[in-house]
Amino acid sequence: MATINAAQPTSEAEAKIVAGIPAAQLLNRSRVAVRVRNLSLALGATAALLGGTTLVLSQAQAQTPAFSVYPVPGTLTAGEKTTFSFRGGTASSLGTITVRGSESGTHTGKLLAHSDGNGVSFVPSKPFEPNETVTVTTDRDIVGATDGDFKISIGDLTTRKARPVELPNVGRGNVQTFATRPDLEPPSVTVTTAKPGRAPGLVFLAPKAGRGQDGPMIINDKGQTVWFKATPGKIPADFRVQQLGGKPVLTWWEGQLFVGDGDGVGQVYDTNYKRVATVTAGNGYSFDLHEFTLTPQNTAIVLSYERFKRDLRPWGGPRDARIVDNIVQEIDLRTGAVLFEWHSFGNVSPNESNVQPPTGRGFEWEYFHVNSAEVTPDGNFLISARNTSGVYKIDRRTGKILWRLGGKKSDFKLGKGVRFDWQHSARQQADGTINIYDNSAAPPTRKSSRVINVRLDEQAKTATLTRAFKHPLGLLSASQGNVETLPNGNLFVGWGSQRWFTEFDPQGNVVFDGRIARGNDNYRAFRYPWVGTPATPPKVVATAAGGKVTARVSWNGATEVARWELLGGANPNALTPLGSANTGGFETAVTATAKPAVVAFRAYDAAGKVLTTTTPLKPASGS
């Protein structure tokens, strides 16, 4: 069962509705368990365990709907902590369920209602055994089942092997330092182009692997840091603005990176830069870095990379080996229930891979490498897989592949210039076309990476290139990268391992371009409007020497400060203005000819409204 761990309030005043969702509904593991135990009261139905093995719900509705179930019937590599999610009706319409493992025997369990009222999860009270077959019997119409009955297989889950972790703090790139925040050392950022026609908003990056600190970073169009949060010992990725409960939030993934995939959590912060939730993957799986998308239905789309022991001889590999199964999940953020789950293994043959199977015993085969997933307007899923050079549309109800674009088994005839390789970030657009970040490496198949827009004719089964943009420097990124459409029609591109980020207008002209310091890379880059008001106060340092005082101030994440006014006086109750300066980036300095005993700063917005006044402090003696 997935969990969403809300930030615990430290006082009654903090236990308020955050992002439209009461904090009490952002459940951690223990509170999820309580909700499951009390589910019969919440549903108004009577639940009974008959013989300790079969769950019977009375008050069944006269009209019993067809249910989709996840994992879908026939899944080959389910986890030992798998739950069964039934979508398409309420618990009272589900009827009788019996769950039996071929090795672990019959399973009792609890029911967890989905927050949208359109489903329920059966949560077994004990885990399953590796390599066993689980039989589920029902008296309802289940998609993919026979007379309501179906089976899944539990895989032999194992750990990562022969995948070294990236070393931190490497390279020779420049690092930023601040007198007011000596605890922050983000990598430097340089903006080389900022022309009229760019979209409004700030730029969102998650630099990693270079000198200085890794962490989510917001910059303005001058390349100045607006907000930075160090993630010591963890790698950040996919940092952006999303909506939770109809309100803007910051989201990112953070965790351990194992070269091509990761194991971590999703973080959600509000406009005051306070953590409101931590999201994990469901059914005991790891949470990979490649996707953390919130939906308008208050669900999260997440990915997992799981290793299972598998005989690879059918595909030319060794008998004693491991297959990397990529898993797409949709998580109910109010309950932690898994609402959808899809596995690459069993749905996409390893024969489609462009990566050869391992030859040595015990090694793994990452044949698929999912790197983006989204819910399409028709409710199905669009996913991208780097190692097959394919984009797939998945039927939500059945888990079956509706079509393939690209790769060895494309259902579409690719028009001139459409072919893409080792791609990332497949996103369906409002007009039905698909944007793709075409790495074309590695190994290279073109001289440069590019972003493309492809129009599909699903009747004629053709794919046509409508436009393709490259970076002026001809960047070729071996990994990572994304492309996002902005509200004004521009495209914002992160060049992945090449550390650049670029904004194109609809004609392909570069209107904004920048880069992170050498040695760093950045999984995805975004531009969004964002208004941040930090809950923490500004930081101030001041020195006095030779009849002058110099003070510096920073307010990490404050987006609305236009001007800082330096105040000084004989005591905190006798402060008068000494000077002022427009905001000068992350840190602003003001020097005045005066000998105040104490100083403070007052922040003003563009309209002249006072935003805050800092606590007075005594300047240090300078030399």
The CATH number of residue 552's host domain is: 2.60.40.10
Residue 11 lies in a domain: no
**What is the model's pTM?**
0.90
Per-residue pLDDT reduced to its tens digit, 122-160: 999 999 999 999 999 999 999 999 999 999 999 999 987
Q: Check residues 96 and 540 and name the one with the higher pLDDT.
A: 540
What is the pLDDT at residue 356? Answer: 95
Same domain, 432 and 550: no
Same domain, 72 and 194: no
Per-residue pLDDT reduced to its tens digit, 152-187: 999 999 987 544 444 555 557 899 999 999 999 999
Same domain, 494 and 456: yes
Same domain, 500 and 566: no
In which band, very low, low, confident or very high, does the pLDDT at 23 lie, cut at 50, 70 and 90? Answer: very low
The CATH number of residue 112's host domain is: 2.60.40.1220
What is the pLDDT at residue 24? Answer: 33
Characterize the bridge pairing of strands 401-406 and 390-394. Answer: antiparallel
The set of residues, in sequence order, having a beta carbon less than 8 Å from that of 12 and lying 6+ positions away, is none
Per-residue pLDDT reduced to its tens digit, 230-273: 999 999 999 999 999 999 999 999 999 887 899 999 999 999 99
Compute CA distances 482 → 52, 240, 295, whole Å. Answer: 50, 12, 19
What is the pLDDT at residue 467? Answer: 97
Same domain, 394 and 442: yes
Residue 346 lies in a domain: yes
Least confident of 169-178, 338-347, 495-504, 592-601: 169-178
Amino acid residing at 142: I
Residue 491 lies in a domain: yes
Q: Once rounded to an integer, what is the mean pLDDT over residues 48-68? A: 49
What is the pLDDT at residue 259? Answer: 78
What is the span of the domain harbouring residue 240? 189-528
In which band, very low, low, confident or very high, does the pLDDT at 451 lie, cut at 50, 70 and 90? Answer: very high
Same domain, 471 and 575: no
Of 509, 528, 547, the domain-final residue: 528
Residue 3 lies in a domain: no
Least confident of 9-18, 65-74, 513-522: 9-18
The CATH number of residue 217's host domain is: 2.120.10.30
Coil vs helix vs strand at 302: strand
Same domain, 116 and 259: no
Per-residue pLDDT reduced to its tens digit, 390-438: 999 999 999 999 999 999 999 999 999 999 999 999 999 999 999 999 9
Q: Once rounded to an integer, what is the mean pLDDT over residues 598-603? A: 98
H or E element, residue 250: strand 247-258
The set of residues, in sequence order, having a beta carbon less than 8 Å from that of 609 and lying 6+ positions away, is none
Q: Once rounded to an integer, what is the mean pLDDT over residues 561-574? A: 97
Task: Give CA angle at 100 (97, 106), nearest 5°.
Answer: 95
The percentage of the chain sitting over the pLDDT mark of 90, rounded to a whole number, equals 83
Q: How far is CA 410 from the centre of its chain?
A: 28
Per-residue pLDDT reduced to its tens digit, 467-481: 999 999 999 999 999
In which band, very low, low, confident or very high, does the pLDDT at 43 lie, cut at 50, 70 and 90? Answer: very low
What is the pLDDT at residue 96? Answer: 87
What is the pLDDT at residue 361? Answer: 84
Domain count, the chain: 3
Same domain, 559 and 516: no
In which band, very low, low, confident or very high, does the pLDDT at 55 lie, cut at 50, 70 and 90? Answer: very low
What is the pLDDT at residue 17? Answer: 24
Same domain, 506 and 374: yes
How far is Cα 539 from Cα 413, in angstroms, rounded to an integer? 59
In which band, very low, low, confident or very high, does the pLDDT at 4 lie, cut at 50, 70 and 90? Answer: low
In which band, very low, low, confident or very high, does the pLDDT at 360 lie, cut at 50, 70 and 90? Answer: confident
The DSSP letter of residue 386 is: G
Same domain, 522 and 584: no
Same domain, 143 and 221: no
Residue 264 lies in a domain: yes
Residue 312 lies in a domain: yes
Residue 177 lies in a domain: no
How far is Cα 453 from Cα 206, in angstroms, rounded to an integer? 25
User: Has residue 34 got a pLDDT over 90?
Assistant: no
In which band, very low, low, confident or very high, does the pLDDT at 623 lie, cut at 50, 70 and 90? Answer: low
Same domain, 549 and 408: no
Phi, psi for 22 (deg, rounded to 5): -55, 140
How far is Cα 83 from Cα 134, in angstroms, rounded to an integer? 11
The DSSP letter of residue 273 is: S
What is the pLDDT at residue 170? Answer: 54
User: Has residue 227 got a pLDDT over 60?
Assistant: yes
Residue 168 lies in a domain: no
Of 484, 501, 528, the domain-final residue: 528
Token couple for 596? 């105040």
Token couple for 336? 């932690």
10 Å Cβ neighbour count for 241? Answer: 18
User: Has residue 499 got a pLDDT over 60?
Assistant: yes
Of 467, 500, 528, the domain-final residue: 528
Number of C-alpha atoms within 13 angstroms, CB side, residue 502?
23
Phi, psi for 32 (deg, rounded to 5): -60, -45
Q: How far is CA 405 from the centre of its chain?
A: 24
